[in-house]
Amino acid sequence: MSYDDTDLAEFEPNAAALVAHNRTWATSWGTKDESPLPQRRVAVVACMDARLEVMSILGLERGDCHVIRNAGGLVTDDVIRSLCLSQRALKTREIVLIHHTKCGVEGLLDAEFLDGLEADTGHRPSWTPGGFQDAAASVRASIAKLTDSPFIEYDADISGFIFDVETGLLEAVEVL
């Protein structure tokens, strides 16, 4: 899915409204003394898609888990860095991956995207966009990256799912 500048014609910055909302919301925050250690000892890696309300989807509450998000929910070097810290410093033991249907990077061609970015900016980044053709295959590839990484200490409890944005249901991805 791509957008052009006409989609932004009526765009107005949100920061002031977001901060105002925060001031109201913070009154219900509470003073509960919480540990920085995730109570469920789980770390979730999910796509940054605004339709995914990760905590609600999984029935979790504040303090239950770590949530690491990026475009596509892909396992990148930075995700491995975050998971390594999550496991070694903050005692998580389980990893849950969540990709989803109708993802913006599904079908994205990395070379084409990078060529366009370089044409627009005059620079080619060191990172790749991570476009994929099949969500289940992408989940499996992410699981393989985690199990192959020497920095992921606890790799026996890794599960992968695809969230259906139409039904709200998670479907387990079987590792072949």
Mean pLDDT of the chain: 92
Measure the CA–CA gap between 127 and 115, rounded to whole angstroms: 13
Task: State pLDDT tens for residues 98-116.
Answer: 999 999 999 999 999 999 9
Give the pLDDT confidence of 136-168 residue by residue, as tens digits.
999 999 999 999 999 999 989 999 999 999 999
Tell me the whole-structure pTM to 2 decimals.
0.89
Q: Tokens representing 160? A: 């992968």
Confidence of residue 30 (pLDDT cuts 50, 70, 90): confident
Residue 2 has pLDDT above 60, yes or no: no
Which pLDDT tens digit goes with each residue over 52-85? 999 999 999 999 999 999 999 999 999 999 999 9
SS3 assignment, position 137: helix
Cα–Cα dist 67/73, whole Å: 11
Query: What is the rounded CA–CA span in Å between residue 25 and residue 17?
Result: 12
- Helix, coil or strand: residue 109: coil
Distance CA 155, CA 19 (A): 39
Give pLDDT, residue 1. Answer: 43
Residue pair 38/25 in contact (Cβ under 8 Å)? The answer is no
The string of DSSP codes covering 75-90 is: --HHHHHHHHHHHHTT
Which phi-psi region, left, alpha or beta, contains residue 156 (left: φ > 0; alpha: ψ -120 to 50)? alpha
* pLDDT over 90, % of the chain: 82
- DSSP for 24-41, please give it: HHGGGS------SS-TT-
Domain ranges of the chain: 35-172
What CATH number belongs to 35-172?
3.40.1050.10
Which of 46, 50, 77 has its CA nearest to residue 139? 46
